Amino acid sequence: MGQVGLSEAPFSESFAATRLDWIVNWARKNSLWPMPLGLSCCGIELMAMIGPKFDLARFGAEAARFTPRQCDLLIVAGTMTWKMAQAVRLVYDQMPEPKWVMTMGVCSSTGGMYDSYAVVQGVDSILPVDVYVPGCPPRPDAVIDSIIKLQQRIQRERPVKDLIEGIPDYADVGTGHTLHQPNRAVAHKKLPALPTRPSQD
């Protein structure tokens, strides 16, 4: 009996050789279940995006779950106030890993035109954000485009490496953006040192 190569039919049709990272990422990116956190007018565009006209189901992300326990993608749609920030942070903490955050619209990305005492100047003050979508509010096309960009990004992740080494400590920390927000009242504050990845030894 001669040597059987992987390329010989019909044996090769029964399996596909791939990397574990690739197949895990492929499954993750095509079943992004969003948590629709509609805080203001962006929520309306969010509903239109999930509805039949723009049809987010084409990208595997149509199953909007209203409990954080079943979600992968937190879409912060709209102006986030400091009073709401505690609720948003709790929702993020209750989501199981792996999880991603998207800020929809300028208000949640940077505070937008609300440079005010009540509004958080960017969700990245309190959460690690993966994708920012500009617009006031952004069209559903723009958000779908960012979901595709997020999918490309997820495809480059290394889940097996994270499994072995553990998720880094700084994964749930924001950028500290709150301390250099455009507010003149706090502009004089010094930036904190960002936490660093623990050394290998």
Partner 1 sequence: MTSEKQAATQARVAAVLTGSNGVQGLAVDAIGIDHDGMVCVTATPEQLHEVCVLLRDALGFESNTFVTARDHGVGREQRFEMFYQFLSVAHVDRVRVRVMTTGDDPEVPTITDLWPGTSFSERECWDLMGVRFSGHPDLRRLLMPQGYDHHPLRKDFPHVGIEPDKLYNQWDEERRAAFAISEAERLEGKR
Residue ranges that bind partner 1, judged by CB under 8 A: 82-83, 85-86, 89, 115-118, 120, 125-126, 178, 183-186
CB of 44 to partner 1, least distance (A): 23
**C-beta of 19 vs 184, nearer to partner 1:** 184
Q: Distance between CA atoms of 144 and 106, rounded to whole angstroms?
A: 16
Torsion of CA 110, 129, 78, 132, to 10 degrees: 70
CB of 117 to partner 1, least distance (A): 3
**C-beta of 71 vs 120, nearer to partner 1:** 120
Cα 183 to chain centroid distance, Å, stands at: 26
**C-beta of 80 vs 154, nearer to partner 1:** 80
On whether the CB atoms of residues 119 and 81 are closer than 8 A, the answer is: yes
Q: Distance between CA atoms of 87 and 94, rounded to whole angstroms?
A: 11
**C-beta of 46 vs 126, nearer to partner 1:** 126
CB of 183 to partner 1, least distance (A): 4
**C-beta of 109 vs 178, nearer to partner 1:** 178
CB of 106 to partner 1, least distance (A): 17
CB of 69 to partner 1, least distance (A): 18
Query: Which helix (H) or strand (E) element contains residue 77?
Result: strand 73-77
Q: Distance between CA atoms of 163 and 159, rounded to whole angstroms?
A: 6
Phi, psi of 198 (to 5 degrees): -65, 145
